[in-house]
Structure 1
Amino acid sequence: MDMVMIGVAVLVIVLVYKGIVVIRNSERMVIERLGNYNRTLMPGINFIVPFLDQPREFIWKSPAGAGALGRLLGDSGDSSYSRLQSMARIDIRETVLDFPSQTVITRDNVSIQINALLYIEITNPHDAVYRISNLPNAIEKLGQTTLRSLVGEMELDKTLSSREDINARLQISLDEAADDWGAKVKRVEVQDLLVPEAVQAAMEKQMRAERDKRAAILEAEGSRQSDILKAEGEKQAAILVAEGNRTARILEADGEKAALDKLKEALGEQGFSQYLIAIRYLDTLNTIGKAGEGDKTVFMPIDATATLGAIGGIKELFQGK
């Protein structure tokens, strides 16, 4: 009898032990009873019915190996990537999935290598278990397809300069699909955009040509501005010289006018007229004489005595006054 009691006690202890499930704060566990969904275990101490209640396995990625960030294996067989693993405890923390590098073709028919990081977390363990058979693989394949489609709509230059746009559009597309699978895609980061060496060399050549072009434009613009400033300076200098000459002529004319006014006042109207005629006559003779310099021509006024008489008349005008 004692042995039976001991056996029963041991059985009860074993059943109680197997029925106690401790869930960490970052974990959830989906429980099935006789093959049907029963409940989702939350953090803390939970009790299940041994043998009747069983945890539903969930396919997720195993922790990355030493020195690896963690990347889905897919079908590549590369042991450096973390592998998909069936597990009972669902980690609801944000997890990083690393898409394998793939070859995509841009709109202008350039093949490039591209890969991306995806940050995802489980928000509904029930949907993550029952609505999709392999959530990481589905997200990876959808991400690769969407990324290939996005890059195919862009030319190479725009692809290289539009990482933020690609990240945002890829995140929105994946999050819409993941929402039905009980997960949320928090963000996506394109890692590498590798172009072929020949294309890279052509791009560098184009960049050098663009730099040379900009330098030539800047040099021409500088020369143009210099010429404009020089012309403006010469223009201002010419204006100042003209203004100076004009002012000098005005002052000279004003002085001559004042002198003539005084002379007219001193000689009278008739005498002043004779004076002007005599001065103009002498100036004309002087001009004609200078025009004949260097020639053997001898110029004699038609009426030399008239000239002397004009000079004498001027003298008499001043003496009379």
Structure 2
Amino acid sequence: MNESIINVNSVLALGFALAAIIIILKSARIVPQRSNFVIERLGKYNRTLDSGFHFLIPFIDKVAYQHTLKEEVIDVERQACVTRDNIQVGINGVLYIQVVDAHKASYGINDYRYAASQLAQTTMRSVIGQTDLDKTFEERAQINEVVVQALDEAAAPWGIKVLRYEISDIELPMSIKDALEQQMRAERERRAAIAKSEGERQAMINVSEGHKQEVINLSEAEKQKQINEAEGRAQEIELIATATAEGLRKIAAAIQEPGGQDAVSLRVAEQYVKEFGNLAKETNTLILPAQLADIGGAVAGLTEIIKKK
């Protein structure tokens, strides 16, 4: 009898212990960092738990939704879009969103990830439909910005924030690819021709500049040559004049010395006879002085002139 009572008490104690453990597990909640738990009490929204340790009323409160506040990446599937110039392209992208209100994310929409992805596709089709094919490649950043703005406005009631949208790939039909390749090839050839012509033009300019500089250098050299020759002639004339003046001064000084007058008379007579003889050699006509015999008188007259000078 006593053993049966002990066994029953043991079972009851074990049951109470298990119940206590279950109650503790049901009442205690640890919310991780950058997460929110949405609590419902008897099926109705009660509160939102932030990160940390929290107690709940067992069997009355329950965690209805768990949301991460980290940035989420959603792959937007490829879709067919028609540009404004009626070219069909396949576009897929990547969407970055973040939960900012756990209550709205829980009760504002059933699946905000799927809704954001579908909204991104429809918005992209609308934006591409208003853009030419060439602008689709050139203005990716602007297209992404327009999509983000439209998604952010639409997703505000869902408690999420659309951070950015990126076009990851644009697939073109083969015919358009061929046309674009031909266009790019023609553009490259045009640039190559322009670069070649610019190079030839620059080469001609360089050659002409070289000729111009050569002519300038030659003219400068000729100018310097003429200046140097003129300066040389001037120095030559100056030296000759200086030497002549010095010689005349010495002659004048020699004349004043004793016997100088006789030497001058003799020198004048010699020059007179010499020049007269040269005159007779150069022409058939002989001119004789009026007083040929009076050479001494002529010499005396020249000597007198030299004295006066």
Q: TM-score, normalised by structure 2?
A: 0.61
Q: Matches of 1:122 and 1:236 in 2, distance apart?
A: 74
Give the CA deviation at 1:37: 0.8
* Shift in CA distance, 242/104, structure 1 to aligned 2, threshold 3 Å: same
| CA displacement, residues 46-72 of structure 1 (integer Å, 9 cap, x when unaligned) | 22222222322xxxxxxxxxxxxxxxx
Q: Report the CA distance between 1:223 and its aligned residue.
A: 3.5
Counterpart in the other structure of 2:154: 177
Note if 1:154 corresponds to 2:131.
Answer: yes
Which residue identity does 1:134 align to in structure 2? D
Which of the numbers 31, 44, 57 marks the counterpart of 1:36? 44
Distance 1:211 1:223 in 2: 18
1:54-100 C-alpha deviation (Å, 9 max, x unpaired)? 322xxxxxxxxxxxxxxxxxxxxxxxxxxxxxxx3222221110001
Distance in 1, Cα, partners of 2:131 & 2:140:
11
How many residues are aligned here?
224
CA distance in 2, matches of 1:230, 1:16: 95
Q: Tell me by how many angstroms 1:41 deviates.
A: 1.9
Deviation at 1:28, TM superposition (A): 1.6
In 1: Cα distance, 2:210 partner to 2:30 partner: 90
Q: Residues 302-317 of structure 1 correspond to what in structure 2 (within 5 A)?
A: none
| Residue matched to 1:16 | 24
* Aligned partner letter, 2:36: R
- Once the two structures are TM-superposed, the CA of residue 205 in structure 1 deviates from its matched residue by 0.8
Matched, 1:214 2:222: no
Query: Greater Rg, structure 1 or structure 2?
Result: 2
Superposition deviation, residue 232 in structure 1: 6.5
The 1:238/1:145 distance shift into structure 2, 3 A limit, reads: same
- Is residue 91 of structure 2 the alignment partner of residue 114 of structure 1? yes
Give 1:129's aligned residue: 106
- 1:134 Cα offset (Å): 1.7
Q: Which runs of no fewer than 5 residues in structure 2 stay unpaired?
A: 227-282, 288-309
Task: Give a deviation string over 1:181-234, Cα, whole Å, max 9, x none.
Answer: 111122222111111122111111111111111222233333344455656667
Distance 1:174 1:234, change over 3 A: same
User: Residue 179 of structure 2 corresponds to which residue in structure 1?
Assistant: 202
CA separation of 1:20 and 1:219: change in aligned 2, threshold 3 A: same
Take 1:228 and 1:34, find their aligned partners in 2: how far apart are those partners? 91
TM-score by length of 1: 0.59
Q: State the identity %.
A: 41
Alpha-carbon separation, structure 1, partners of 2:12 and 2:216: 126
Structure 2 counterpart SS, 1:180: helix
CA apart distance, 1:10: 4.6
CA shift for structure 1 position 176: 2.5
- How far apart, in 1, do the equivalents of 2:25 and 2:205 lie? 95
In 1, Cα distance between the equivalents of 2:129 and 2:74? 23
Alignment gaps of 5+ in structure 1: 57-87, 249-314
Task: Provide the rounded CA distance (Å) in 2 between the counterparts of 1:211 and 1:152.
Answer: 30
- Which residue number corresponds to residue 232 of structure 2? none
Where is the helix percentage greater, Structure 1 or Structure 2? 2
**Is residue 142 of structure 1 aligned with residue 113 of structure 2?**
no
Is 1:98 the counterpart of 2:106 in the alignment? no
The one-letter amino acid paired with 1:186 is: L
State whether structure 2 residue 25 is matched by structure 1 residue 48.
no
The separation in 2 between residues aligned to 1:97 and 1:34, in whole angstroms, is: 34
The alignment's C-alpha RMSD in Å is 3.6
Tell me the CA shift for residue 242 of structure 1.
10
